[in-house]
Amino acid sequence: MKKIILLSWLLLVAPFALAAHHLNGTWKLNVSLSGQASGTATFVLSEGEGGILTGTYSGAAGNATIMGTVKGSAVEFSFDSEAGKVTYKGTFADNKLTGTCNYGMIGEGTFEGEKSAGE
């Protein structure tokens, strides 16, 4: 009986527990701002309990600590820069992130990218 319960748990619960932190890792996002040159931003993300997202940003706006949330496939995170608050809002699927971003006084744009291979 114990083997059946353990097997049932492994088949039903474990896949959801393992999938809970699918954003963890390094992301390279191609950012295109309206009327501005495009560039690449690097994010190292860590998804915690309750949909809390933390991590770091490095790119044209310098280096910063990010805070955000994850709800299903929707993700939102932000950080402070000299141009003001920078916000990313998007969705993820199949190790890809896509969405919109706002770089404060610099302007708005879009982003798309992938998690680094092997993560």
Q: Which residue has the tokens 């495009």?
A: 38
Global pTM reads 0.80
Which pLDDT value is given to residue 117? 80
- Our CA angle for 70, 73, 74, nearest 5°, is 55
Which pLDDT value is given to residue 7? 39
User: How many CB atoms within 10 Å of residue 66?
Assistant: 19
Superfamily for domain range 22-115 = Quinohemoprotein amine dehydrogenase alpha subunit, domain 2 (2.40.128.120)
Confidence of residue 105 (pLDDT cuts 50, 70, 90): confident
* pLDDT single digits (tens) 32-67: 999 887 899 999 999 999 999 999 999 989 999 999
